[in-house]
Each structure stands twice: as C-alpha cells, then as structure tokens.
Amino acid sequence: MSSQTPHKTTYGLPKPKAAYLPTSKDSPLYANRELYNGIAKTAESGERELVEKVIIPIRSAKAWKVPKGHVCRIVAVEGPQVGDLNIWNLHNPRERLWAARTRQLHSAHVSVYDRLWSNLPFLRPLVTITADSLQERGQDEWGGRLHDLLGTRCDPYVDKMLSGEDNDFHCHSNLTRAVLPYGLTEFDVHDVLNVFQLTGLNEHDQYFMETCPAQKGDYFEFFAETDVLCALSCCPGGDLSMWDWGEGGEDEPEEKDMVSCCRPLGVEVYKITNEKVLDGWSEPQPVRYSTLHGMKMPVFEKN
C-alpha cells in the first residue's frame, strides 16, 4: 500500500507522491491480501482443479474464457518468451482492459496484488494478480522491470512506418486472428499487458526493451473478478534478445535469428474447489457515477 506522505530525499526535498491515492482504506484499489493469498495458496494445497489447458505456438495467439472466481496461469513452458495479453468482459467486449489507467492506479510494471482495471464508463478490476514467480527478481541495472504496461503490442503499421516493409509477424495481427471466432475484430484489440517483458525508460525518457529473464516454468497468475475473455500473443520477437524492425529476407540472417529465440507459452485455467477460500469475495461492480457529465436532461425525460 502506498503512503500518502512524501519521503525525504538526500537533499531534504520531498519526493513527489503518487497521483492516484484513495482517501479511504476500504477503496477497491487495494486488494484484500488475506483473500488473494488464500487463492494463491490453492496451488500448493491442491484446492484447485485444472479445467482448461492451452498451448500457444510461437508467433501466434489464442483466445480463451476464464469464468469469474477462477484462476488463470500463464507459463513459460520452454524458457523465456514475451506474451501480449488482452482482456475483455466476456459478455460485453466494450468493457476491456485499460492499460493507461491501470498504470496510473498501480504502477508501470505490475505484480502480485495489483489489479487490471477496465475502461470507462465501467472502471472496475477485471482481474487481480495473485502469483508471479518473477516478483522477487527486482529491477535490472538500467531500471527495467517486468510485466510491462508502459508499451503496447507490436503492429504492422508501425513496422511499415519504421522499416518500409510489410510484415505480418506482429502481436496486433496475432490478437486480431485469435479473437475473430468470438465475434471481435481488429477494432477490439487494445493496449496490452506485456507479460514477462522487461522494459523501462532511458535517460532521454525513451522506452526500451531488454531480453526476457523468464526461465522454463516461470509463471504469472491472476484471479478473474468477472467472466472474462482473454487473448495472448506469443510475441514474434520471442525473448526480445534479437528483435528489430523488419523481418529480413532469405539472404538475411535476421529472420532465422528472430525465430530461434521464440518459444511457446502455456495457459492453465483452474476452478477453486474449496468454496471457503472465496468467503467474503463478490464480483466487483462498475463505479456508480450517476450524473450526466454536466448536461441537463429535459424535464419530461426525468424519472
């Protein structure tokens, strides 16, 4: 939990405090740690049942459903690999992950107890992060951190602008194909959570990406607060150790290099079998803002 009191620097000046701090200790911004610790411990206690398992091939994507009250785990099944994650309300895809606001409410890189929030006019946690095997590995020497909300998915439009080449190997394209069977389109693909991705800002305040440090068996897990549809792309850049714009031709080694650092990702969905673990939990509801943005309703339309 963040403190509302600025800390003193070595120069005696106060550090700036976080801009988005609730005034109530009961704010839904803060996860109930006892509850979510209990959910995480079902992995060790055996109080969860595997109900679905998905393997996402390299340079591709898949979509799947997670019912509310279930746990979803993303696994680096063969070694380091970045995954671009989209989340929607299963029953209303207009409600979806809002990466920018989540970044403001929590941090630019998320982990256990952080919540992934939905867009306006809904504004509620779609999922809460319950486990992260990489949580204790901290930041690298350049200030890079894991599970990134700073950047977004790679896409063919930016690639064409930067390299001059048409290239289909992108997370945006992967996610577009993955959601078509669910009645969604390219317009529904949105800013992502980059799972297992190590990023930061350099001395010029520019976005950088470094090689993914995940190892075989590492995982990132979240609890579904409502029924959600998820889609995950195995980034065509793989572990980002060889990424570049453009894909390279037959006579260029870049394409083979990019493929050589790509690995599949696994997805596991679990049902919690001990109902007592979820005692006190209820599905979060959208924020109840009840006025009309300053507009007045005609008298005859008022209830």
The answer to whether residues 66 and 226 touch, using CB atoms and an 8 Å cutoff, is no
Domain definitions of the chain by residue range:
53-267
User: What pLDDT sits at residue 296?
Assistant: 79
Give the C-alpha separation, 94 to 232, whole Å: 18
Does residue 121 have a cis bond before it (omega within 30 degrees)?
A: yes
Render pLDDT for 187-225 as a digit per residue (tens, 0 to 9). 999 999 999 999 999 899 999 999 999 999 999 999 999
Place of tokens 């079998």: 273
Q: Which residue has the tokens 């959208």?
A: 286
Give the H/E segment covering residue 43: helix 33-45
What pLDDT, in 10s, does the model give residues 103-123?
A: 999 999 999 999 999 999 999
Identify the H or E element spanning 268: strand 265-272
The answer to whether 92 and 189 have CB atoms below 8 angstroms apart is no
Task: Read off the pTM.
Answer: 0.90
pLDDT tens digit string along 161-190? 998 989 889 999 999 999 999 999 999 999
Strands 219-224 and 48-56 come out as unpaired
